[in-house]
């Protein structure tokens, strides 16, 4: 893990090439070390990286990384897990709304029927654990499918709000579009991993 003092010393306007090198090095080290261990406590610490290190530290490392890179894919997975962790009731509600419209993606995501907050938290943790203990491409595809179902749920939510709160409906529609883009990025990253081109 990056020492908090070392993270504070990362300059904000660092040379983009150096920033990219740091992002790739830290992401590769985390994935390599996580996949090399069979210690469930190490995997649990990696899954809880944002909780222990803080979202700002992880963002400083990876948020500028393109989606088709390992640090970019990890950033998207950790942000998705953090959203689920912070607002599981909303995520579960959106998932329940979207699931009937995209049943194939529901199967890939692997969420319990009529999920509640604890169910979506468990899936987010399982997906991120899969980065370190399973097939990384499958973890990315599961996360992508999860985002697709959530995007549909957010769009349905926006439709219901359109009459009573058009501004909230517009924000939800943008959120649904962002979730769909994230789904596509994660699925593409999975395909790159399968072909040994996700660096």
Hey, what are 59's tokens?
């963002």
pLDDT per residue as tens digits for the range 117-160: 999 999 999 999 999 999 999 999 999 999 999 999 999 999 98
What is 50-98 written as a DSSP string?
Answer: HHHH-HHHHHHHHTTS-TTSHHHHHHHHHHHHHHHHH-HHHHHHHHHHH
Q: How far is CA 144 from CA 148, 168, 187, in A?
A: 6, 25, 6
Q: How far apart are CA 132 and CA 139, in angstroms?
A: 9
pLDDT per residue as tens digits for the range 93-123: 999 999 888 887 777 777 877 789 999 999 9
In the block, tokens 């980065």 appear at: 131
Annotate 2-32 with three-state secondary structure.
CCHHHHHCCCCCCCHHHHHHHHHHHHHHHHH
Q: CA Rg, the chain, in Å?
A: 17
Q: How far apart are CA 80 and CA 140, in angstroms?
A: 11
In the block, tokens 């699925």 appear at: 187
Q: Average pLDDT, stretch 177-194?
A: 97
Residue 83 has pLDDT above 60, yes or no: yes
């Amino acid at each position: 893990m990056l020492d908090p003092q070392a993270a504070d010393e990362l300059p904000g306007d660092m040379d983009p090439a150096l920033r990219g090198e740091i992002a790739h090095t830290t992401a590769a080290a985390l994935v390599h070390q996580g996949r090399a261990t069979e210690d469930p406590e190490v995997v649990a610490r990696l899954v809880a990286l944002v909780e222990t290190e803080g979202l700002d530290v992880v963002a400083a490392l990876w948020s500028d990384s393109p989606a088709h890179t390992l640090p970019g894919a990890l950033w998207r997975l950790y942000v998705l897990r953090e959203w689920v962790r912070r607002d599981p009731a909303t995520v579960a509600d959106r998932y329940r709304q979207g699931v009937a419209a995209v049943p194939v993606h529901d199967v890939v995501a692997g969420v319990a029927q009529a999920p509640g907050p604890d169910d979506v938290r468990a899936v987010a943790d399982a997906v991120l654990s899969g980065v370190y203990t399973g097939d990384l491409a499958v973890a990315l595809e599961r996360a992508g499918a999860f985002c697709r179902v959530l995007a549909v749920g957010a769009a349905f939510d926006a439709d219901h709000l359109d009459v009573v709160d058009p501004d909230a409906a517009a924000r939800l529609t943008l959120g649904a579009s962002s979730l769909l883009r994230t789904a596509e990025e994660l699925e593409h990253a999975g395909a790159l991993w399968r072909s040994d081109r996700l660096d």
